[in-house]
Amino acid sequence: MKGIPSFGKIKQRRETSLVFLILLLLLVVTLRSPGFVSIKNLQRIINDTSILVMVSLGQFFVILAGGIDLSVGSIIGFSGMAASMLNEAQPTLPAFVVLLVGVLIGTAFGALNGALVAFGKVPPIITTLGTMSIFRGITFVLSKGQWVTAHEMTEAYMLLPHGNFLGISNLIWWGVLVSTVLYYVSRFTRSGREVFAIGGNKTAAKFVGVSERKITMMIFTISGMVSGLAGVMWTARYAAAVNETATGFELQTVAACVIGGVSIAGGSGAVSGVILGALFMGIINNALPVINLSPFLQLFIQGAIVLFAMLINTLSEVRRGKKLLQERLA
Amino acid sequence: MPTRASGLLLFQGTRPAARRGLRVPIHKEPALSQPLLEVKHLTKYFPGIKALDGVHLTIRSGEVHALIGENGAGKSTLVKILTGVYFPTQGEVLYEGSPLVLRNAIDAQKAGIAAIHQEASMFPELSVTENIYMGHHLTHPKTGRIDWRKMRTETQKLLDELELDIDSNTLVKNLGVAQRHMVEIAKALSLHAKVVIMDEPTSALSLREVEDLYKIVRRLRADGKAIIFISHKFDEIFEICDYYTVLRDGKYIGEGKVSEASIDSIVRMMVGRSLDQMYPKRNINSGRTILSVKGLSQLGYFSNVSFDLHEGEILGFFGLVGAGRSEVMRTIFGIDRKTAGTISLDGKEIQIRCPSDAMAHGMAFVPEDRQEQGVILEMSIAKNITLPQINPISRFGILNRKKEKSITETYGSKMEIRAAGWQVDADTLSGGNQQKVVLAKWLATNPRILILDEPTKGIDVATKAAVHQFISDMASKGLAVILISSELPEVLGMADRIMVMHEGFLQAEFSREEADSDKVIRAATGNASGGGVA
Residue A176 banded pLDDT, cuts 50, 70, 90: very high
Residue B14 banded pLDDT, cuts 50, 70, 90: very low
Mean pLDDT of all residues in B193-207 = 80
For residue A111, pLDDT beyond 60:
yes
A156 lies in some domain = yes
Searching chain A, which residue's CA lies closest to the CA of residue B156? A2
Residue B245 · residue B255 · CB < 8 Å: yes
A172 lies in some domain = yes
Residue A71 banded pLDDT, cuts 50, 70, 90: very high
* Full residue range of the structural domain in which residue A241 is found: 50-259
Rounded to the nearest integer, the mean pLDDT of chain B is 78
B76 touches chain A (CB under 8 A): no
How many DSSP H helices and E strands does chain A contain? 14, 4
Mean pLDDT of all residues in A7-17 = 62
Among B33, B193, B223, residue whose Cα is nearest residue B110: B193
pLDDT at residue A59, rounded to an integer: 95
B52 dihedral zone (left: phi>0; alpha: psi -120 to 50; beta): beta
For residue range B281-304, list pLDDT tens digits in order. Answer: 666 666 788 889 998 888 878 888
pLDDT at residue B274, rounded to an integer: 46
Cβ-defined contact of A201 to B123 (cutoff 8 Å):
yes
Q: How many CA atoms lie within 13 A of B478 on its CB side?
A: 6
Please give, rounded to a whole number of angstroms, the shortest distance from the CA of B444 to a CA of chain A. Answer: 36
Cβ-defined contact of B156 to A2 (cutoff 8 Å):
yes
Q: How many domains does chain A have?
A: 1
Searching chain A, which residue's CA lies closest to the CA of residue B121? A204
Partners of B190 on chain A (C-beta within 8 Å) are none
Residue B393 · residue B404 · CB < 8 Å: yes
Rounded to the nearest integer, the mean pLDDT of chain A is 85
Residue A132 banded pLDDT, cuts 50, 70, 90: very high
For residue range B369-393, list pLDDT tens digits in order. Answer: 665 556 776 677 777 777 766 555 5
Highest mean pLDDT among A286-295, B112-121, B151-160, B404-413: B151-160
* Rounded percentage of chain A residues whose pLDDT exceeds 90: 37
How would DSSP label each residue in B129-178? HHHHHTTS--B-TTT--B-HHHHHHHHHHHHHHTT----TTSBGGGS-HH
Residue B261 · residue B66 · CB < 8 Å: no
Among B5, B300, B532, B405, residue whose Cα is nearest residue A321: B300
Question: Which of A184, A188, A329 is opposite residue B503, by nearest beta carbon?
Answer: A329
pLDDT at residue A178, rounded to an integer: 94
Residue B294 · residue B304 · CB < 8 Å: no
A324 touches chain B (CB under 8 A): yes
A314 lies in some domain = no
> How many beta carbons lie within 10 A of that of residue A272, not counting itself?
18
A196 touches chain B (CB under 8 A): yes
Please give, rounded to a whole number of angstroms, the shortest distance from the CA of A95 to a CA of chain B. Answer: 32
Cβ-defined contact of B123 to A196 (cutoff 8 Å):
yes
Highest mean pLDDT among A175-184, A206-215, A303-312, B473-482: A175-184
A310 lies in some domain = no
Backbone φ, ψ for residue B355 (5° rounding): -55, -30
Cβ-defined contact of B146 to A188 (cutoff 8 Å):
yes
A57 lies in some domain = yes
Please give, rounded to a whole number of angstroms, the shortest distance from the CA of B82 to a CA of chain A. Answer: 12
A193 touches chain B (CB under 8 A): yes
B134 touches chain A (CB under 8 A): yes
Q: Which of B123, B147, B181 to mutate to test the interface with A (most CBs of A within 10 A)?
A: B123
Distance, in Å, from the CA atom of A199 to the CA atom of A210, rounded to the nearest integer, reads: 11
pLDDT at residue B38, rounded to an integer: 87
Residues 263-322 of A with CB under 8 A from B: 263, 267-268, 322
A205 touches chain B (CB under 8 A): yes
A247 lies in some domain = yes
B122 touches chain A (CB under 8 A): yes
Cβ-defined contact of B123 to A188 (cutoff 8 Å):
no
CA dihedral over B483, B485, B489, B492, signed as positive or negative: positive
A15 lies in some domain = no
Residue B26 banded pLDDT, cuts 50, 70, 90: very low
CA dihedral over B427, B428, B433, B438, signed as positive or negative: negative
For residue A222, pLDDT beyond 90:
yes
Searching chain A, which residue's CA lies closest to the CA of residue B140? A188
For residue B181, pLDDT beyond 70:
yes
Searching chain A, which residue's CA lies closest to the CA of residue B106? A209
pLDDT at residue B136, rounded to an integer: 81
A140 lies in some domain = yes
Could you tell me which residues come within 8 angstroms of residue B225 by beta carbon, excluding any fewer than 6 positions away? Answer: B61, B62, B193, B194, B195, B196
Residue B273 banded pLDDT, cuts 50, 70, 90: low
Among B455, B462, B1, B513, residue whose Cα is nearest residue B284: B513
pLDDT at residue B515, rounded to an integer: 80
Could you tell me which residues come within 8 angstroms of residue B182 by beta carbon, excluding any fewer than 6 positions away? Answer: B162, B164, B166, B212, B213, B216
For residue range B32-73, list pLDDT tens digits in order. Answer: 567 888 888 888 887 656 778 888 889 988 899 999 887 667
Please give, rounded to a whole number of angstroms, the shortest distance from the CA of A7 to a CA of chain B. Answer: 15
For residue B218, the Cα-to-chain-centroid distance in whole angstroms is 24
Distance, in Å, from the CA atom of B495 to the CA atom of B507, rounded to the nearest integer, reads: 17
Mean pLDDT of all residues in A201-213 = 80
Residue B455 · residue B443 · CB < 8 Å: no
Partners of A263 on chain B (C-beta within 8 Å) are 125
Cβ-defined contact of A193 to B146 (cutoff 8 Å):
yes
For residue B529, pLDDT beyond 50:
no
Question: Which of A184, A193, A324 is opposite residue B130, by nearest beta carbon?
Answer: A193
Among A277, A275, A205, residue whose Cα is nearest residue B135: A205
Distance, in Å, from the CA atom of B114 to the CA atom of B346, rounded to the nearest integer, reads: 56
Comparing A10 with B151, the larger pLDDT belongs to: B151
pLDDT at residue B373, rounded to an integer: 57
Backbone φ, ψ for residue B129 (5° rounding): -50, -50
Residue B240 · residue B63 · CB < 8 Å: no
Size of the A and B interface in Cβ pairs below 8 Å: 85
* Rounded percentage of chain B residues whose pLDDT exceeds 90: 5
Partners of B146 on chain A (C-beta within 8 Å) are 187-190, 193
Residue A324 banded pLDDT, cuts 50, 70, 90: low
pLDDT at residue A230, rounded to an integer: 95
Partners of A200 on chain B (C-beta within 8 Å) are 123-126
B119 dihedral zone (left: phi>0; alpha: psi -120 to 50; beta): beta
Partners of B336 on chain A (C-beta within 8 Å) are none
Q: Is B94 exposed, middle or buried (0-12, 13-18, 19+ CB in 10 A)?
A: middle
A8 touches chain B (CB under 8 A): no
pLDDT at residue B386, rounded to an integer: 74
Question: Which of B121, B139, B169 is opposite residue A203, by nearest beta carbon?
Answer: B121
Cβ-defined contact of A200 to B105 (cutoff 8 Å):
no
Alpha helices (H) along A124-211: 124-143, 155-162, 170-188, 190-200, 202-207
Among B331, B290, B283, residue whose Cα is nearest residue B481: B290
Residue B123 · residue A204 · CB < 8 Å: yes
Could you give all domains of chain B from N- to C-terminal order, each with its CATH number? 37-112+194-276 (3.40.50.300), 121-178 (no CATH), 277-362+448-534 (3.40.50.300), 376-446 (no CATH)
Among A306, A298, A299, A300, residue whose Cα is nearest residue A278: A306
Coil, helix or strand for B214? helix
Partners of A210 on chain B (C-beta within 8 Å) are 134-135
pLDDT at residue B23, rounded to an integer: 42
Type of residue found at A328:
R
Highest mean pLDDT among A21-25, A110-114, B263-267, B365-369: A110-114
Comparing B21 with B213, the larger pLDDT belongs to: B213
For residue B448, pLDDT beyond 90:
no
Cβ-defined contact of B126 to A263 (cutoff 8 Å):
no
Residue B170 banded pLDDT, cuts 50, 70, 90: confident
Cβ-defined contact of A208 to B134 (cutoff 8 Å):
yes
Distance, in Å, from the CA atom of A35 to the CA atom of B476, rounded to the nearest integer, reads: 83
B139 touches chain A (CB under 8 A): yes
Cβ-defined contact of A187 to B146 (cutoff 8 Å):
yes
Question: Which of B124, B135, B167 is opposite residue A209, by nearest beta carbon?
Answer: B135
For residue range B418-427, list pLDDT tens digits in order. Answer: 666 777 777 6
pLDDT at residue A51, rounded to an integer: 94
Mean pLDDT of all residues in B24-29 = 46
Please give, rounded to a whole number of angstroms, the shortest distance from the CA of A209 to a CA of chain B. Answer: 5
For residue A6, pLDDT beyond 50:
no
Mean pLDDT of all residues in B14-23 = 39
For residue A38, the Cα-to-chain-centroid distance in whole angstroms is 25
Q: Which of A13, A201, A268 to mutate to test the interface with B (most CBs of B within 10 A)?
A: A201
For residue A166, pLDDT beyond 80:
yes
Please give, rounded to a whole number of angstroms, the shortest distance from the CA of B75 to a CA of chain A. Answer: 17
Residue A31 · residue B197 · CB < 8 Å: no
Please give, rounded to a whole number of angstroms, the shortest distance from the CA of B122 to a CA of chain A. Answer: 6
Q: Which of A186, A191, A207, A264 to mutate to test the interface with B (most CBs of B within 10 A)?
A: A207
pLDDT at residue A78, rounded to an integer: 95
Among B455, B507, B495, residue whose Cα is nearest residue B302: B507
Residue A44 · residue A104 · CB < 8 Å: no
For residue B426, the Cα-to-chain-centroid distance in whole angstroms is 21
Q: How many CA atoms lie within 13 A of A7 on its CB side?
A: 0
pLDDT at residue B25, rounded to an integer: 43
B145 touches chain A (CB under 8 A): yes
For residue A7, pLDDT beyond 60:
no
Helix or strand run (H / E) with residue A97 = helix A95-118
B177 touches chain A (CB under 8 A): no
How would DSSP label each residue in B240-256? H-SEEEEEETTEEEEEE
Searching chain A, which residue's CA lies closest to the CA of residue B131? A197
Comparing B504 with B272, the larger pLDDT belongs to: B504
Query: What's the complex ipTM?
Result: 0.75
Comparing A326 with B121, the larger pLDDT belongs to: B121
Question: Which of A197, A324, A328 is opposite residue B123, by nearest beta carbon?
Answer: A197
Please give, rounded to a whole number of angstroms, the shortest distance from the CA of A310 to a CA of chain B. Answer: 18
A165 touches chain B (CB under 8 A): no
Cβ-defined contact of A325 to B301 (cutoff 8 Å):
yes
* Rounded percentage of chain A residues whose pLDDT exceeds 70: 92
Q: Which whole-number Å values give the CA distances from B63 to B170, B217, B226, B232, B290, in the listed order?
A: 33, 10, 5, 19, 54
Q: How many CA atoms lie within 13 A of B212 on its CB side?
A: 17
Residue B276 banded pLDDT, cuts 50, 70, 90: very low
Partners of A187 on chain B (C-beta within 8 Å) are 146
For residue range B92-129, list pLDDT tens digits in order. Answer: 888 888 888 888 777 888 888 888 875 557 888 888 99
Backbone φ, ψ for residue B51 (5° rounding): -75, -35
